[in-house]
C-alpha cells in the first residue's frame, strides 16, 4: 500500500476543501478521487483489478467510502481514447458531479469522453494564478477553463480560447458554479494559432498567459499541431501579447519535452523577441510521485 496517499494527506485534502486528487500511482495504473467517485486509469486489466481490491483496503484505513468506481483504459494512440466505464455503483445515477479544489468548484462529467473535466496535476499552477491575482489572463487551450475560473475569482478579466465549443460551455458552467458573472470574460471557440495574431493586431496585452497545449491535435483547416515542433512558435506569439513583468505558464504532457527542453525553447523565443526573463517551477504536489504529471515551467518576463 506504499503508493497510496497516507490517511494524513487525505485528511489534509479534506481540511483544505480539496476533493479532487490522486489516491494511488503505480507503473500501469493510477487512481483519482473525484468528489465521492473514484476513477481508475489503467494500462492492463491486471493492474486495474489489483488497484480496485487495494482501493477497498485504503478506503477502510482513510475512513472514506466511494459512491462509484469508474475505470478507463489508457491507450497508446489518442484515436483509441474512450470515456470511463462504471465498474461499481449505481448505473442510474447522473454522470455529472461537482468537485472542489481549495474551495473552488469544478464540474465533472464521466460521460463527456476520455477526460472528465479537471486536470489534477495543474493544482499548484492554478493556486499560483489565484495568488498572483492577474488583471488580464489569456488562457489558451483552455479546455474547461479552470485557470480562467481561479483568475476571475481573484478579480481578473479573462480570455479563454479552445477549439471545442463544448469545453468552453463547460467553462461557463464552472464560472456559474462559483457564482462568477460572465461580464469581462470572453470564450473564443477557435484555433489558438489563429487567435494569437488577431489579439496582437488589436493591441491586446495580458499579465498572465497559460500555454498548456496537447501533444498533438488538428486545428482549423486540418492544420496539424505537434507540440515539440511548434512550442517555440507558440511562445513567440505569446510574447507579443505579454506585458512587461508578465508570467507565462508553459506546460506539456509530451514525454519528449522535459523541463530543460521547455526552458531552452523559452530562451530561444526570448532571444528572438529581444526580451529577458527568469524561470520558476511550483513545488511538486504531495499526491504525485516525482516525474508524474505534466512538465511545467513559469516564465517571468522582466
Ligand X SMILES: C[S@@+](CC[C@H](N)C(=O)[O-])C[C@H]1O[C@@H](n2cnc3c(N)ncnc32)[C@H](O)[C@@H]1O
| Site residues (vs ligand X, CB under 6 A) | 119, 122, 141, 143-144, 146, 161-164, 167, 191-193, 212, 214, 217, 219, 225
Q: Minimum CB separation from ligand X for residue 32, in Å? A: 14
Q: Minimum CB separation from ligand X for residue 203, in Å? A: 22
Q: Minimum CB separation from ligand X for residue 206, in Å? A: 15
For ligand X, give the closer residue by CB, 54 or 287.
287
Please confirm, yes or no, whether 145 is among the known catalytic residues.
no
Q: Minimum CB separation from ligand X for residue 162, in Å? A: 4
Set 238, 254, 266, 297: catalytic member: 254
Q: Minimum CB separation from ligand X for residue 195, in Å? A: 8
Q: Minimum CB separation from ligand X for residue 38, in Å? A: 20
For ligand X, give the closer residue by CB, 47 or 265.
265
Task: Name the region of 273 (left: φ>0; alpha: ψ -120 to 50; beta: rest).
Answer: alpha
How would you write the chain as a 3-class SS string? Answer: CCCECCHHHHHHHHHCCCCEEEEEECCCEEEEEECCEEEEEECCHHHHHHHHHHHHHHHHHHCCCCCEEEEEECCCCHHHCCCCEEEECCCCCCCEEEEEECCEEEEEECCCCCCCCCCHHHHHHHHHHHHHCCCEEEEECCCCCHHHHHHHHCCCEEEEEECCHHHHHHHHHHHHHCCCCCCCEEEEECCHHHHHHHHHHCCCCEEEEEECCCCEEECHHHCEEEHHHHHHHHHHHHHCCEEEEEEEEEEECCCCCCHHHHHHHHHHHHHHHCCCEEEECCCCCCCCCCCCCCEEEEEEEC
CA–CA gap between residue 31 and residue 44 (Å, rounded): 14
Active-site residue set: 254
Amino acid at each position: 500500500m506504499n503508493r497510496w496517499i497516507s490517511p494524513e494527506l487525505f485528511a489534509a485534502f479534506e481540511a483544505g476543501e480539496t476533493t479532487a486528487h490522486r489516491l494511488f500511482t503505480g507503473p500501469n495504473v493510477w487512481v483519482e478521487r473525484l468528489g465521492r467517485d473514484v476513477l481508475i486509469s489503467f494500462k492492463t486489466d491486471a493492474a486495474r483489478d489489483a488497484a480496485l481490491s487495494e482501493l477497498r483496503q485504503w478506503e477502510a484505513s482513510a475512513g472514506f467510502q466511494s459512491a462509484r468506481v469508474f475505470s478507463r483504459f489508457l491507450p497508446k494512440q489518442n484515436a483509441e481514447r474512450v470515456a470511463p466505464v462504471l465498474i461499481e455503483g449505481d448505473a442510474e445515477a447522473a454522470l455529472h458531479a461537482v468537485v472542489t479544489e481549495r474551495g473552488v468548484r469544478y464540474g465533472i462529467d464521466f460521460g463527456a469522453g476520455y477526460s472528465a473535466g479537471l486536470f489534477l496535476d495543474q493544482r499548484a499552477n492554478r493556486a499560483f494564478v489565484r495568488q498572483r491575482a492577474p488583471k488580464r489572463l489569456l488562457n489558451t487551450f483552455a479546455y474547461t477553463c479552470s485557470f480562467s475560473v481561479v483568475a476571475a475569482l481573484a478579480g481578473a478579466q479573462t480570455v479563454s480560447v479552445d477549439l471545442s465549443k463544448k469545453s468552453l460551455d463547460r467553462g461557463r458552467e464552472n464560472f456559474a458554479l462559483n457564482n462568477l458573472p460572465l461580464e469581462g470574460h470572453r470564450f473564443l471557440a477557435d484555433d489558438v494559432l489563429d487567435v494569437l495574431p488577431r489579439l496582437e493586431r488589436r493591441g491586446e496585452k495580458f499579465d498572465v498567459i497559460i500555454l498548456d497545449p496537447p501533444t498533438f491535435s488538428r486545428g482549423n483547416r486540418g492544420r496539424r499541431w505537434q507540440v515539440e515542433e511548434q512550442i517555440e512558435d507558440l511562445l513567440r506569439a505569446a510574447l507579443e501579447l505579454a506585458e512587461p513583468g508578465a508570467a507565462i505558464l508553459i506546460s506539456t504532457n509530451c514525454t519528449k519535452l522535459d523541463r530543460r527542453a521547455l526552458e531552452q525553447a523559452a530562451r530561444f523565443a526570448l532571444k528572438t523577441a529581444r526580451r529577458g526573463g527568469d524561470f520558476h517551477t511550483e513545488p511538486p504536489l504531495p499526491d504525485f510521485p516525482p516525474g508524474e504529471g505534466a512538465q511545467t515551467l513559469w516564465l517571468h518576463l522582466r
